[in-house]
Structure 1
Amino acid sequence: MGEMSTLQFGVIGALFLSVASSVSIVICNKALMSNLGFPFATTLTSWHLMVTFCTLHAAQRLNFFESKSTDTRTVILFGLLNGISIGLLNLSLGFNSIGFYQMTKLAIIPFTVLLETIFLKKQFSQKIKFSLFLLLIGVGIASVTDLQLNLVGTIVSILAIITTCVGQILTNTIQKRLNVSSTQLLYQSAPFQAAILFVSGPLVDQFLTKQNVFAHKYSPLVLLFIALSCLIAVAVNFSTFLVIGKTSPVTYQVLGHLKTCLVLGFGYTLLHDPFTERNIIGILIAVWGMGLYSYFCTQESKKKQLADASMVSQIKDKDTTPLLSAKSMGHQDKESQETKISTKDSAV
């Protein structure tokens, strides 16, 4: 019970850190890009990852965690895949309308469910699917506005969905298969994610913004917000790997849509963004779906724990029964032998 309580507190802490850091970085980046005129999102992400790696390297040298040797080829491919998925998501936003980009992000959940069902043989109950459906409907109502389709944008979005889903599923499976912690995996893969974005980031940003990141005028305020964004990103990247490792890729995506609802709410209250009845209705439906998802997951988790405990109990009973039987038989044989001796003595 003590280990289970510790695990639950660990999951809750990871979820809270993920939500708090993600909402913080969205607000920080919105101020940086919208108010201070720094639109280079992909290049900024590469800086995030490099600062994350440097922070983890310092933590490892100070013995906060132990570096573990892993399958280098797997980690390199994993890091490159995650870097590509980030670039494709940013390109998707550049090629498509905001509404279609939001639809792309919504499609990640059903596609993840599909991939896990086909390749990992994972079963999702009808209740879980219903709660996810409600969540997607709510977020769609709250955030999706215009839907403008084009061929190139659609292809880029499909590639972004595939790479993002596969990357998040691998985040969970690699941690379990290689027996590494979220911190160890992030430490191993962050340099490769940063490397591919260092190379592609300026090109992607120049294509999207028609501006050169190296020719931008960096004021002290811009540098301050970039530094703040990089520091928050350390918590974002760490909590992402932590949440996926402790829960599942689908739960992480559900959490991501909770962040979307919170960002919409904070945008209205703090930044005075436009807010309509449609946004309110969508957020309420989404929160309802998230609540049902959490409740159904908790119920299924408890049933699984009870089933596992019952199975362990049956195995223990099965293991101890022969011993008891043997002792009983031995005791009976001893009594029988004593009876025979006594009978023999009486006959004499």
Structure 2
Amino acid sequence: MMKFSGTASSKTFIYSKMGEASSSFQLSVVSALFLSVASSVSIVVCNKALMSNLGFPFATTLTSWHLIVTFGALHLAQRLNFFETKSVEMKMVILFGLLNGVSIGLLNLSLGFNSIGFYQMTKLAIIPFTVLLETLFLGKQFSRKIKLSLFILLLGVGIASVTDLQLNFLGSILSILAIITTCVGQILTNTMQKRLNVSSTQLLYQSAPFQAAVLFVSGPLLDQCLTHQNVFAFKYSAIVTGVIVLSCILSVSVNFSTFLVIGKTSPVTYQVLGHLKTCLVLAFGYTLLHDPFTHRNIIGITIAVFGMALYSYFCTHDNKRRQLALDLSSQGREKESSPLLPGKNTGHQDKENHDIKKSAKDSVV
């Protein structure tokens, strides 16, 4: 009896520790999501003021400066022992950095050669394409409820942000390439952190120089092609320089939180969060910058927020179901290894363990 009591006490201790770990993980995820939303909305407002009000249109070059400053900040943090570098295959990191740099350039080209409405449709297409890639190549399964919530979300964002849909061949090709590279880059951000056991900071620190190099070389050419202006001939006033510096400082938080969110959640969740930022930017633009706002914007944002709430609820429910299935599976393994009455009820127990494992496998990540 004493032996059985000790085993029960051990189980209670283990489950208590698992609960604490789960709560700590959820807190870190919420913190990462909040940091991503706050920093992204702030930098969008800052960049909008820089480009619309101060006449600085060089988006790709500005992004390269963001990455250079991000790498410098991370290098300083590494020298001050805030984090440790981890050895990762250099070829993989270079390809990863180049891919992310190319995806940013293609997104900017897509915006330049397409209408705003078609560009918004391009961003909306990233979620279903990511779901498709993860289903086909990573074996992930998304429940019908998750898919329904994503559909409602995309419908709402589409109503709120998509206006004209002017198509052209070059712009369509650029949009398709932008969707593919963005999806693959974000999926790799998630899988590399988990499979190579590196943190978001370590991965960003090693890949940022290569992303910055791609954009620093191609940025001025792309910007001149899109704006017909030379970034080096631009007259930099004190206020323009100050806003650029502020934008670069905010970018450190944006880039760090992007890798953090994708690593802790999934590329799909990060895209959902991106559409939340779109809705918040529209709301802030109306409130702070007095942008035009219509009933269509209000209806679209309302539908999108409802879709996000459903997505969050279903994800939380599915994750709890998966954790419960894993806990029950762990209990089943403990029962199998128990010396008490070997051979008794083994048929029923095997069937129960099979059902538990199947439930865990079918759950959504």
Q: Which category describes the TM-score, using the shorter chain as reference length?
A: over 0.9
Q: Which residue in the other structure is 2:40 paired with?
A: 22
What residue is the counterpart of 1:318 in the other structure?
336
Superposed CA deviations along residues 9-62 of structure 1, whole A, max 9, x for unmatched, are: 000000000000000000000000011111000000000000000000000010
**1:277-332 deviation per Cα after TM superposition (whole angstroms, max 9, x unaligned):** 0000000000000000000000000000000000011111111236x769xxxxxx
The equivalent of 1:335 in structure 2 is none
Match of 1:245 among 263, 267, 278: 263
Mapped partners of 2:289, 2:49: distance in 1: 10
CA deviation map 1:130-159 (0-9, x unaligned): 000000000000000000000000000000
Structure 2 equivalent of residue 53 of structure 1: 71
Partner of 1:158: 176
- C-alpha distance in 1 between matches for 2:84 and 2:334: 36
Match of 2:326 in 1: 308
Aligned partner of 1:171 in structure 2 is 189
Residues 244-268 of structure 1 deviation map (CA, whole Å, 9 limit, x = unaligned): 0000000000000000000000000
In structure 2, how many angstroms separate the alpha carbons of the residues matched to 1:113 and 1:154?
Answer: 21
C-alpha distance in 2, partners of 1:300/1:163?
29
Q: Distance in 1 between matches of 2:21 and 2:240?
A: 45
Render the CA deviation track for 1:55-98: whole Å, top value 9, x for unaligned: 00000010100100101111100000000000000000000000
1:205 matches 2:223: yes
Q: Identify which of 275, 283, 308 aligns with 2:293.
A: 275
1:220 maps onto 2:225 in alignment: no
Partner of 2:152: 134
Of 96, 107, 129 in structure 2, the residue corresponding to residue 111 of structure 1 is 129
Cα distance in 2 for partners of 1:189, 1:44 equals: 18
**Is 1:6–2:24 an aligned residue pair?**
yes
Q: Provide structure 1 residue ranges, at least 5 long, that are not aligned to the other structure.
A: 327-348
Output the CA distance in 1 between the equivalents of 2:173 and 2:339. Answer: 62
* 2:86 equivalent in structure 1: 68
Query: How many Å separate the matches in 2 of 1:34 and 1:316?
Result: 63
Distance 2:124 2:342 in 1: 60
State the alpha-carbon separation in 1 of the partners of residues 339 and 113 from structure 2: 68
Based on CA coordinates, which of the two structures has the bigger radius of gyration?
1
**Equivalent position amino acid for 1:13 in 2:** S
Pick one of 116, 119, 123 that aligns with 1:98: 116
Determine the C-alpha separation between the residues in 1 that align with 2:57 and 2:186: 26
Q: In structure 2, what is the Cα distance between the partners aligned to 1:171 and 1:245?
A: 7
The total of aligned residue pairs comes to 325
Separation in 2 of the partners of 1:51 and 1:69?
A: 22
Question: C-alpha distance in 2, partners of 1:284/1:277?
Answer: 11
Provide the residue aligned with 1:345 in structure 2.
none
TM-score, normalised to structure 2, is: 0.88
Deviation digits for residues 178-234 of structure 1 (CA, Å, limit 9, x no counterpart): 110000000000000000000000000000000000011111101100000000000
Structure 2, unpaired ranges of 5+ = 1-18, 344-365
Give the structure 1 partner of residue 163 of structure 2: 145
How many angstroms apart in 1 are the aligned matches of 2:270 and 2:104? Answer: 16
Aligned partner of 1:188 in structure 2 is 206
Work out whether 1:286 is the aligned partner of 2:304.
yes
- Return the alpha-carbon distance in structure 1 between the equivalents of residues 140 and 261 of structure 2: 18
5 Å matches for 1:226-237?
Answer: 226-237=244-255
Q: Distance in 2 between matches of 1:72 and 1:294?
A: 36
How many Å separate the matches in 1 of 2:86 and 2:244?
A: 31
In structure 1, how many angstroms separate the alpha carbons of the residues matched to 2:342 and 2:211? Answer: 61
Tell me how large the CA RMSD over aligned residues is.
Answer: 1.0
Q: What is the aligned-residue identity percentage?
A: 77
